[in-house]
Amino acid sequence: MFPRLFSLSNDQGKTVGEVGIWEEGRWRFKPLWRRERFEWEARLEEELLSILDTGNIRQDTQDRLVWREDPEGAFSVKSAYQILTKQTAYVPVDGVYRALWQAKAMPKALITAWRVILDRIPTIANLIRRGVLVGLPIYVMCNQLQETSQHLFLECTVAQRVWYGCYRCIGIVGAQSNMIGNHLENFYLTHLSNEQNKVWRGVWVAIIRSIWEQRNQVVFRGGVPDVEEILQKAQLLSWLWLKYKATGFLYAFSDWLLNPNHCFPAAT
């Protein structure tokens, strides 16, 4: 969706140094828009700026394009071809990200979960750190603590009730980790096969996405946190993936709601 946002910008073709300013020794992107953004476009802008903020902008270097595969930084078709064709040794993938990218989930939900694990989602705490917000706002979902990724998705009363409802549906008993990455890795049922657990972790991803969407509804539309709505949205996202992607999955959404254990694809 970011390309649509870029099409509204007056900054196309400009260098980094032409689309922002230095403030107190820190680079701040200041995009110029051809018109006022709609509400959903403003949210996209917040997400875009939070991603750009992860870059390391230095004030003592020249703003220029560099091709990292060449010692002099110059791009060539030959070097690009070599990158695409050369064989590299296998590098083990961190367990958290392996679990995430193997999860059977909608792409938009996977991207949201990836950003949550990296803590690159525009929570209030992250926006304050970037200087976008000032003051000490309370947490928007449970009105108890300042909004951080950890609190929003795992620790607040709303999130805890969502996870409890999920565990109750699937039959999990016991405590889960309060660290987001470990929480995903532990989202694993021993009586299921590896392929079935990829579906189960897809449910985890869908819950993360649904909590984030509910949070945005509360912030931007004055909504009220609704645990059942979050759960049903997550169940819908996971069922839609299974319906269109899983071979031989013929269960109705009502079946998935009532007994997801019975609907898991057969072990292979």
Write out pLDDT tens, residues 53-78.
666 677 777 767 777 777 777 777 77
Q: Which residue's structure tokens are 């917040």?
A: 46
Collapsing DSSP states into helix, strand and coil, what is residue 219? helix
Specify the higher pLDDT residue, 153 or 173: 153
Q: Among residues of the chain, what percentage have pLDDT more than 70? A: 78
Closest CA to 240 of 213, 203, 190: 203
| Residue 92: per-residue pLDDT | 43
pLDDT of residue 70: 76
What is the DSSP code (8-state) at residue 20? E
Tens of pLDDT, residues 104-133? 999 999 999 999 998 988 888 888 777 776
- Is the predicted pLDDT of residue 172 greater than 80, yes or no? no
Closest CA to 228 of 219, 236, 239, 216: 236
Name the DSSP letter for residue 54: T
pLDDT at 4: 47
Query: Alpha-carbon distance 5 to 3, whole Å?
Result: 5
The residue to which tokens 């060539």 are assigned: 76
Query: Tokens in use for 114?
Result: 């990836």
How crowded is residue 40: how many other Cβ atoms within 10 Å of its Cβ? Answer: 12
85: pLDDT confidence band, cut at 50, 70 and 90? low
Above 70 in pLDDT, residue 226?
yes
Instruction: Return the pLDDT at 184.
Output: 92
The Cα 225–Cα 175 span in angstroms is 24
Task: Output the pLDDT for position 112.
Answer: 93
pLDDT higher than threshold 90 for residue 235: yes
Q: How many Å apart are CA 231 and CA 237, to the nearest integer?
A: 10
Six-digit token string for 13: 């073709």
> Does residue 137 carry a pLDDT above 50?
yes
Report the pLDDT value the prediction gives residue 230, as an integer from 0 to 100: 96
pLDDT digits (tens, 9 = 90+) for 188-201: 888 888 888 899 99
| The predicted structure's pLDDT at residue 238 | 93
What type of residue is 200? W
- Least confident range of 57-71, 147-161, 209-223, 247-261: 57-71
